[in-house]
Structure 1
Amino acid sequence: MQHIYPAVAIILSTLSGLFPFSLYDLFILVASLYLIVLILFLIFRKTSFKKFLYSLIRFVTMLVVWFYFAWGISYFREDFYAKSDLKETTFDAENLKKFVIRFVADANEAYVDFDVMDRAGVRQDLEESYHALHEKLGIDYPNGKRRAKPMLFESLYSKMGVSGYFGPFFNEIHVNNYSLDTTYPFTLAHEMAHQFGIAHESEANLYAFIVCMQSEDERIRYSAYLLTLLYLVNDAAEFLPEEVDSLTSAIRPEIIADLRRNREHWLAVRNRSLSEVQDKAYDAYLKTNKVSSGRENYSEVVGLLISSYDTFIKK
């Protein structure tokens, strides 16, 4: 299984790389129109229910087979601990508190004030980091080509709060151009991790953090701390409710301002109904693929960081 995906990734990413637009988004549009036509044919009695059902089952079956062959098999690969030979550190209140204190201090030190950066340069920087770390991270390299493509339906995805996604059918990376430059590097690194066959969101977050920290660009390193800090704060609020205020009070005001600016940036275009539907649909998708925690899997990066921070992050 571990040898199948790299070969598939090379073929699909090379093919899709010939096009400047998203084949995945185009495919979703065509597939949606096909389903609508099937339903209309049934409603207006242009086809029998038996033929409709046959066509629907055949289409869904082809879709599922294609998904798992093209990328979905990544959900059944070895997890981070098996690939890295690291021992998992117990996730408890004491270890979490110690790590939050340390992480906040490191984030404060990493802070840098910036608004604009060369996004093409960011992609190249992250590519070099993945190359340098691929053996240590247990991933195949080059594993195809990684070209960050614009979303065909960017306005719709922005309303749903989607900053990026990986298109499995054609092995394509997508990052929302609406994203702020302060968050763009980490988001791109996360989607690149998916392209390397890292399916679980927690592990994609971990790989993104490690790779960003490998960069010589202080803005890329800060981007990793900025977004990862949110997961630590959420865990502190859940597992250390009586101490969360004192722990988060140590975060420097400039970082709080950046987090607030990012939140307000996305809320300005958010459609609550669309966002909630997307959240529920993606939660169901993850659980279907044996990610029992669903969308909460994103936050499980904290446990991975507690176990691996000393190994991968040199201070």
Structure 2
Amino acid sequence: MSKRLKTILALSIFPQIIIVKWLGNHPDWIETYYSNGFYPLLSKSLRYAFGWIPFSMGDIFYTITTILIIRFLILKGKMFFAQTRSFFREMFILISFLYFTFHLFWGMNYYRQPIHQSLNIANEYTYEELISFTDKLVDRCNNLHLKITGNDTVMVKIPYTKREIYNMTGNGYRNLAKKIPELEYSPGSIKTSMYSTALTYMGYSGYLNPFTNEAQVNGLQLDFKYPTVSCHEEAHQIGYSAENEANFVGYLAAVHNEDIYFQYSGYLYVMRYFLGEIKRNDPELFEAYNARINPGIIKNYLEVANFWRKHKTKAEPAFKQTFNTFLKANNQKDGIKTYSYVVALLINYYKINPF
């Protein structure tokens, strides 16, 4: 490859950034031509290609890429001092390629229309609506818990293997697609991450590999959240890149599943958002809700909290801040913690689709 061509490829990163940001100012274009046009075709193709493989090709891809980067630095690290311009040209070629591939394969979904617009629902709620919905949610969680355990003090244990859970997620999406066809999910491509231990110490429950379109779930612990976390990662696969929107879609897929453990997982998953909003507005009312919740449900929450507390490291905030910065750089202005939007989506969705 000639030096001139290498220079062009290296410098292509700058017009790419400009084009992505320009397209990002037209979310209606992204929604129509990418998120509901090109991307579903590409996503399904990748899931057909890799979904049948029992292990994560994406994790293998990351491993090989890391090895190649280390090899590059070892073999060409001397260029940094002897041929600085050539070194940075090689580096920017790689960055340009990854930037292009990332946005083509998945990243443009960060710039699509907010889901409340595509569903034609509001994105605001009143304090009275928050209280009313929380009442219903607490009752629903208590009833499901008692139905499963027969004892309000017993913690729920998911009776399925990880592979069984992955296979069962499709049921919820099929039922959900009858109401919202855009949320159809098929074929499946969801796997336990080979790097579950690393993910745990970084503080993550899973992620989507944008290059292979495989949903990766942290498999270090199987708790009540596992079915909904699996549905959450699949929501990323069908094009919902924002964490809050994936939370919303993943919840809907879980509670539309015919399996009671999936329903329990989904309702408990979002109840913490509502309780968090209550706590921020009225700590005394929050304590009153805590007293209403079955002790077995509290044990489920504590199991998860203790697990993450046990594996918390001083480096975790840095990983979270890095991901937060990444999200903000990709049109997610509120970063990771946008719980109030999830609350708004649920309240307004159920105005049209009552409990």
Taking a change above 3 Å as real, the CA distance of residues 43 and 129 of structure 1, as seen in their structure-2 partners, is: closer
Aligned to 2:66: 32
In 2: Cα distance, 1:121 partner to 1:27 partner: 25
1:104-137 Cα distance to aligned partner (Å, 9 max, x none): 1221112134422244343333212212322533
Taking a change above 3 Å as real, the CA distance of residues 313 and 155 of structure 1, as seen in their structure-2 partners, is: farther
Contact 1:66 1:169 in 2 (8 A): yes
Aligned to 1:126: 169
Q: Are 1:155 and 2:189 counterparts?
A: no
In 2: Cα distance, 1:166 partner to 1:313 partner: 31
The runs of 5 or more residues in structure 2 that have no matched partner are: 1-33, 150-155
Taking a change above 3 Å as real, the CA distance of residues 299 and 159 of structure 1, as seen in their structure-2 partners, is: farther
* 1:165 match: secondary structure: strand
Q: Are 1:248 and 2:282 counterparts?
A: no
Task: Please state how far the C-alpha of 1:23 moved relative to its aligned partner.
Answer: 2.2
Which one-letter code corresponds to 2:233 in the other structure? E
Contact 1:146 1:195 in 2 (8 A): no
Q: Are 1:56 and 2:73 counterparts?
A: no
The runs of 5 or more residues in structure 1 that have no matched partner are: none
Task: Please state how far the C-alpha of 1:299 moved relative to its aligned partner.
Answer: 5.4
Which one-letter code corresponds to 1:100 in the other structure? T
Which one-letter code corresponds to 1:274 in the other structure? A
Aligned to 1:78: 113
Q: TM-score, normalised by structure 1?
A: 0.90
In 2: Cα distance, 1:222 partner to 1:28 partner: 34
Instruction: Quote the RMSD (CA, aligned, Å).
Output: 2.2
1:266-295 Cα distance to aligned partner (Å, 9 max, x none): 322x14123212211110111111111101
Contact 1:104 1:251 in 2 (8 A): yes
Which one-letter code corresponds to 1:120 in the other structure? R
Q: Are 1:93 and 2:127 counterparts?
A: yes
* 2:212 match: secondary structure: coil
Of structures 1 and 2, the larger Rg is shown by: 2
Q: Are 1:192 and 2:227 counterparts?
A: no
Taking a change above 3 Å as real, the CA distance of residues 291 and 45 of structure 1, as seen in their structure-2 partners, is: closer
Taking a change above 3 Å as real, the CA distance of residues 313 and 119 of structure 1, as seen in their structure-2 partners, is: farther
* 2:207 match: secondary structure: strand
* 1:206 match: secondary structure: helix
- How many residue pairs are counted as aligned between the two chains? 311
Q: TM-score, normalised by structure 2?
A: 0.80
Which one-letter code corresponds to 1:225 in the other structure? Y
Taking a change above 3 Å as real, the CA distance of residues 311 and 210 of structure 1, as seen in their structure-2 partners, is: farther
Identity %: 25
Aligned to 2:55: 21
